[in-house]
Structure 1
Amino acid sequence: MSTSGRPREFKDVAVIDAAIDLFWSKGYEACSTQELCDRTGLGRGSLYNAFGSKHELYEQALQRYHELGIEAQLEILERPVSAKERLTGLLEWAIDIDFSHPDRRGCLVLNAAMERAGIDPVVERVIGRHIGFLEQALCRLMEDGLRTGEIRADRPALELARLFMSSYHGLRFLNKSTQNREMAMHIVEATLAAIF
């Protein structure tokens, strides 16, 4: 039994991943409980017994997506290569993901922020964690680059990290909305030029 008293037998990765896929494609509001049942293979009663509500399943889906996404991003930012190679790697990773889906799904965390920030404390909490982890990793990277002299900008590490994050998230939004690879590559070049 879970701490909330509901049975856990359906709370497996496959069900949550199926929900991620649907929320990622349709967003929260446009996704019906019946569509979740169809996609996960659970009956309505089983879905509610296992997760309590559509919103609780959304929270678990968003949290799992965040955990997988931040793990992949931190892995790139912590590679034993130069700061510039790590930042380039993260930007190229984003472009590869954003251009790989013909339905322009973008990033589920950013989609959730655009759809529900300001009205959904769960979304704000997950977004806050996601941004926090990324900011910390970028600060460490900028500090390393400043210490070694690879980054010559006369700005504090936190300011550089936030400058990069604004370009990075702007890039992801534009990738989803325009699917313009040439524009994406220009943003990558300009972002790196502003730091190195």
Structure 2
Amino acid sequence: MVTAHSSTNSIRPENVSETHDRRARVALNAIPAPWPAGVPEYGSRSRAFLTCRSKTITVRVMGRPRNFDPDTVVDRAMETFWTHGYANTSPAQLAEATGIGKGSLYNAFGSKRALFDLALDRYDRLGVELAADILNRPGATRDCLAAFLCGLADADLAQPVRRGCLAVNTAMEMAGHDAEIARAVRATQDHMIAALEARIDQGKRDGDVRADTDPRSMAEFLMNTVVGLRVMAKTYDAPTLHRIIDTALATL
């Protein structure tokens, strides 16, 4: 496993300037965007960085400054890690995907592991925002949950490479021997459980979910269903996945 301490990936920031902050790490002094209502916030490890879309970094390479939007870089890195996994993503692949030279990339972000941590946090935020958007739409609870689960499955099936879920893939690859990654993946799952729980609880108040349903337990069960769907989407077809969703939601 390549870590942040590997000699091939630990290149210290050097001669880096930032529009509003001369420190190499752009995570500092940014104004965070609002977090979706009803969902607990995740750790502050890189939240400010990922929500500061008005900033650019200026990295000086051999006397010539190069500007880039850090969030765009993290998005592209996230897609690369998602497709290839952490260990199988090389510095050259990251440089190609982001359009930034390896030296400039690591001057700005510090290491492959630091960039991966930002990408995983970005994935977490995007997932919570997607869940909030779909689950908070008008309609019956079961219909909203079905739209969310089917949307995840269908999106996986539509990809040229069926890569599943970045968080699940990361758990399988790294969580067993990396405590920090295990905590990050657990946080991602907890945020999704909280979003599901809030919608089920609302359904109880609206009267379209059985009164004896425990929102937390049901949300955990559906999160387990989501994880299984994202894995099975790598090998199964849409009708099978949709049957699984129908069965899971029949318990509501």
- In the superposition, the TM-score normalised over structure 1's length comes to 0.89
Identify the residue that residue 150 of structure 1 maps to in structure 2: 208
Match of 1:52 among 88, 100, 110: 110
Partner residue in 2 for 1:25: 83
Asked whether 1:90 is paired with 2:108, we answer no
| Deviations 1:80-138 (CA, angstroms, capped at 9, x unpaired) | 22111110111111122111112111121221122111323443233222222221222
2:244 aligns to what? Answer: 187
1:24-173 map, 5 Å: 24-152=82-210, 154-173=212-231
Deviation sequence 1:43-78 (CA, Å, 0-9, x none)? 222111101100001111111122112201121111
Structure 1 counterpart of 2:202, one-letter code: D
The answer as to whether partners of 2:134 and 2:147 remain within 8 angstroms in 1 is yes
* Root-mean-square deviation (Å): 2.1
**C-alpha spacing 1:81/1:42, structure 2 compared with 1 (3 Å):** same
- Listed as ranges, the gaps of 5+ residues in structure 2 are 1-16, 27-56, 58-67
Cα deviation, 1:137-174, whole Å, max 9, x if unaligned, reads: 22222222223332226332111111111112211111
* d(CA) in 2 for partners of 1:17, 1:134: 20
Q: Deviations over 1:2-43 (max 9, x none)?
A: 789316415612211221121111000011112212222222
Structure 1: 5+ residue stretches without partners: none
Specify the structure having the higher radius of gyration (Cα): 2
- Structure having the higher helix fraction is 1
State the alpha-carbon separation in 2 of the partners of residues 148 and 48 from structure 1: 51
Contact 1:95/1:175 (8 A) holds in 2: yes
The CA distance in 2 between the partners of 1:16 and 1:103, in whole Å, is 20
d(CA) in 1 for partners of 2:96 and 2:80?
A: 10
Q: Are residues 1:5 and 2:13 paired?
A: no
Change (3 A) 1:36 1:95: same
**Structure 2: how far apart are the matches of 1:7 and 1:165?**
34
Distance 1:81 1:33, change over 3 A: same
- What is the percentage of aligned positions where both structures have the same residue? 37
Higher strand share: 2
| Amino acid across the alignment from 2:124 | H
Quote the Cα distance in structure 2 between the aligned partners of 1:110 and 1:12.
25
Contact 1:66 1:126 in 2 (8 A): no
Q: Quick check: 80-89 or 147-156, which moved more?
A: 147-156
- Whole-angstrom CA distance in 2 between matches of 1:116 and 1:130: 15
**Aligned partner of 1:146: which letter?**
K
2:131/2:195 contact within 8 Å kept: no
Number of residues paired by the alignment? Answer: 194
Q: Counterpart of 1:99 in structure 2: which amino acid?
A: L
Question: Contact conserved, 1:106 with 1:172, CA < 8 A, in 2?
Answer: yes
